[in-house]
Amino acid sequence: MKAALAVLLAVPAALQAAPDTAHDGGHDWLNGTWRAQGDGLLHSLDGKPVPLTAKAASAWARVKPAFLAGDPKVDPARRCKPPGEPRLMADPGTPFSVIVTGPRVLFAYRWNRLVRMIEMESPREVIGPTYFGQNAGHWEGDTLVVDVQGLHEGVALDKSGLPHGEKLRITERFRARDKDRMEMVAQFTDPDSFTRPWSARLVFQRQPGLTVAEDICLDREHLVGKLIDPNKVK
Amino acid sequence: MPFHAKRQERLAALTIAGGLLWLPLAAMAQVSSASDADIQDAPPQFKSSLSNGRIKPDASELTRQNIQGAPPSQDPRDFNGMYNFLRDPGGSPGAPAGGGKAGGPPGGAAKPGGSGGPPGGGGPPGGGRPTNLGAGACVVNSFGGLTSYSTTILINPREVMFLMEENHVLRWATFADQHKADVQPSYTGDSIARWDGDTLVIDTTQVATRGRPGTDHYVEKAAKLPNGNIAIERFKADDSGALQPVEKVTLRWRPDLHYVEDICEDFGEAFGIGYQ
C-alpha cells in the first residue's frame, strides 16, 4: 500500500491533472517509441511471393536493384523525399513515436521529422494522393485499425521498391503482443498491382527511454550546399 | 508533377474560401464577392456566412465532418485540435519569430490546402532568389514558430506536441519536472511542460539558431479561450536569465481543417531547389 502511494506521489502533479483523452478504452499501450524488427522488407504472410500483376512485377524488377543499392536517381528517399508507408515504419533504422489522443493518433518518425496523422473517424473523400495517405482509424477493443488510401503511387511499399498503384488500399491492424512488442498486420488490395489481396506482418519492439530527436535530412545527407541550380531559378 | 497538380486542383477552391475568411477587415469586401462555386466548395460551416445566409450547408455535409466539425472541448486543458495563427496586437510585426520558414514556391505563391493563412511564407527574406541557408531550403533554421499554414496540437497525460504543417516542424514537450541532462542543442530545443492552473507552461532550452553560436532559452504560456482559440505568450531569457516578452500569438480554432502533408522537398525540386 505504501509503495503504491509512493508511486502515485512520484507522478508529477501536472501529469495527474492533464486531459485524459488518450485513456478512453485503455489504449495507452500504443504510446511510446517503437522500432521495427526484421529486414525492412514486406513478406507475404502465406509464405508465397507477393502476388504482383505482370506489369507491377516488371516495374519492380526494373527498380529493385537500384533501390536496394540506395541509388538517389531511383529512390526518392535518398533525395530526402518521404519514404512513405509502410516502408518507413518497417525500417529498423528509423524509430518512431506514437502519440494517442482521442481524436487523433500520430506516428512521429525520427526520419526528417515526418509524421503520419491518423484521424479517428470514418474514411472520407480522399484529398491527395500523399506520401502517407489518408489514414482513418478506429479502435476494435485494444486493436487500432487503420484504413489507408490515397497513397502516392511514387512511394514504394518497402525498401526494395515494391510498387503499387493509386487504387491501393491498406487495412492495418495494430495490437500489443506483450507490453514491449507490437504487431501490425496489413492487408494490401490494389487490382492494378496485385492479382489478389495479400497480407504482411511487421513486429515492433518498444524503445524505453528513447525519444524522437530532431532530424533534418538535408543536413544529414550533406545536401544543403548542393541544392541550388541557378539556371533553374529565375 | 501530377501529384501536386492533382492536390492543387482539389484544394484550390477550399484554399481560396479559407483565405478569404481570414483576411484582414480591410479586405473583407472580397468575401461578399465570393462566387457561388467558391462558396459551394467552402467548408460547410462557413457557407452561410460567406453567402450572407443565402446558402446553407446540407445535413449530410455536416455529419460527414465528424471530428473535424465538432465544437471545441469545454475542458480548458484539452488543447487537441487544429488551429492557424492570428497575431495579437502588441506582437512583433512580420512573420512569426524564428518560424523555420522553409519551403514553398519562391515569390510567396499560395500553398495548396492548409489553413488558408496569409501567403508569402516561402522564399527568402525580402524576396528574390531562394538560398540554401534560410527560408527557401527546406531546412529548420531556428526556433519553431507557429506558422501561417496550420498547427495541430496533440496532448495527452504524457506529452504535448505542436505539429506545424509547414515543413512538418515538430515541437514536442513531455510533462516532466526537469530537462534531460544529456540533451544536445537543436533548432527546436528540449521542451518540458507543466500546468500552472489551466495555463500550459512550456520551458524550452538548448535552442540553436543556424549560423549563430550559443543557445537560447524560451518559456511559453498557453491558455485555452472559451471560443476554443489558444492564446500563447512567448518569452525569451536574456543574458541575465530574466524572461523578456517576445510575442503574443493566438491559435485560432479551425475545426474545418484537416492536416495536410507539406513536403518542402517536393516544392523545392519543382522550383529548382532540390537535389539535382
| Whether A224 and B172 lie within 8 Å, measured CB to CB | no
In this structure, is residue B266 part of a structural domain? no
A222 or A198, which is more confident: A198
Complex ipTM: 0.78
Query: Which residues, listed in sequence order, are joined to residue B186 by a DSSP beta bridge?
Result: B207
Check whether domain A19-224 has CATH 2.40.128.20, yes or no: yes
Q: Region of B178 please: left (phi>0), alpha (psi -120 to 50) or beta.
A: beta
Q: What is the pLDDT of residue B3?
A: 35
pLDDT value at residue B62: 45
> CB distance A213–B186 less than 8 Å?
yes
Give the Cα separation of A55 and A162 in Å (integer): 12
- The reply to whether B60 and B93 lie within a common domain is no
- Give chain B's domain count: 2
Are both B63 and B91 inside the same structural domain? no
Confidence of residue B43 (pLDDT cuts 50, 70, 90): low
Q: Are residues B44 and B96 in the same domain?
A: no
Nearest to A72 among B6, B139, B275 (CB): B275
- CATH number of the domain where residue B241 is located: 2.40.128
Residues B88 and B62 in one domain: no
Span A201-228, pLDDT tens digits: 999 999 987 777 778 887 777 665 444 4
Size of interface A-B (CB pairs under 8 A): 175
> Is the pLDDT confidence value at A192 over 90?
yes
Cα–Cα distance between A30 and B66 in angstroms, integer? 23
Candidates B68, B261, B266: best to mutate against A (most CBs of A within 10 A) is B261
CB-based contact, B149 to chain A, within 8 Å:
no
Residue B218 CA to residue B223 CA, distance in Å, equals 17
Res A16: pLDDT: 38
The whole-angstrom distance between A46's CA and the closest CA on chain B is 33
Parent domain of B20 = 2-69
Q: Which percentage of chain B shows pLDDT scores above 90?
A: 24
- Say yes or no: B56 and B145 in one domain: no
Identify the residue whose cell numbers are 513486429: A203
Q: Which residues from B are below 8 Å from A72, CB to CB?
A: 275
Q: What is the residue-wise DSSP string for B116-155?
A: ---S--SS-TTSSS--SSSTTSSS--SS----SS-EEEEE
pTM of the predicted protein model: 0.71
Q: Are residues B44 and B172 in the same domain?
A: no
Mean per-residue pLDDT of chain B: 67
pLDDT band with cut points at 50, 70 and 90 for residue B11 = very low
B266 with A81: Cβ contact below 8 A? yes
Pair (B165, B226) in one structural domain? yes
Chain A: closest CA distance from residue B146 (Å): 16
> For the segment B199-250, what is each residue's pLDDT rounded down to a tens digit?
999 999 999 887 788 899 999 999 999 888 999 999 999 999 999 999 888 8
Residue B198: list chain A partners with CB under 8 A. Answer: none
- The answer to whether the Cβ–Cβ distance between B10 and A127 falls below 8 Å is yes
d(CA B174, CA A213): 13
CA distance B203 to B179: 9
Instruction: Say how many C-beta atoms besides its own lie within 10 A of residue A207's C-beta.
Output: 16
Q: Cell numbers 492533382 correspond to what residue?
A: B6
Q: Are A14 and B68 inside 8 Å of each other by CB?
A: no
CA distance A174 to chain B (A): 20
A108 contacts on B by Cβ (under 8 Å): 161, 170, 172
Q: Which chain B residue's Cα is nearest to A129?
A: B3
Mean pLDDT of B15-40: 45
The stretch A137-150 carries a mean pLDDT of 95
Is B263 part of a structural domain of the chain? no
Greatest extent of chain A over all pairs of C-alpha atoms, in Å: 73
Q: Which three cell numbers stand for residue B221?
A: 504560456
Domain membership flag for residue B106 = yes
Containing H/E element for B173? strand B169-175
- Beta strands per DSSP E along chain A: 32-36, 96-100, 104-109, 115-119, 134-140, 143-149, 169-178, 181-189, 198-206
For residue range A2-59, list pLDDT tens digits in order.
344 443 334 343 333 445 444 445 789 999 999 999 999 999 999 999 999 999 999 9
Mean pLDDT value of segment B179-201: 92
Which pLDDT belongs to residue A212? 75
Q: Are A87 and A224 in contact (CB under 8 A)?
A: no
- Given A81, A211, A213, which is nearest B263 (Cβ)? A81
Q: Indicate whether B115 and B229 sit together in one domain.
A: yes
Nearest to A102 among B66, B80, B263 (CB): B80
- Is B164 within 8 Å of chain A by CB? no
Boundary residue ending a domain (B48, B69, B90): B69
| The pLDDT of residue B66 | 40
A75-129 residue pLDDT tens: 988 888 889 889 999 999 889 999 999 889 999 998 888 899 999 988 877 877 8
Task: Tell me: do B100 and B155 sit in the same domain.
Answer: yes
Interface of B with A in 63-102 (CB under 8 A): 64, 66-68, 70, 73, 75, 77-81
DSSP string of A23-60, one letter each residue = GTTS-GGG-EEEEE-S-S---BTTSSPP-B-HHHHHHH
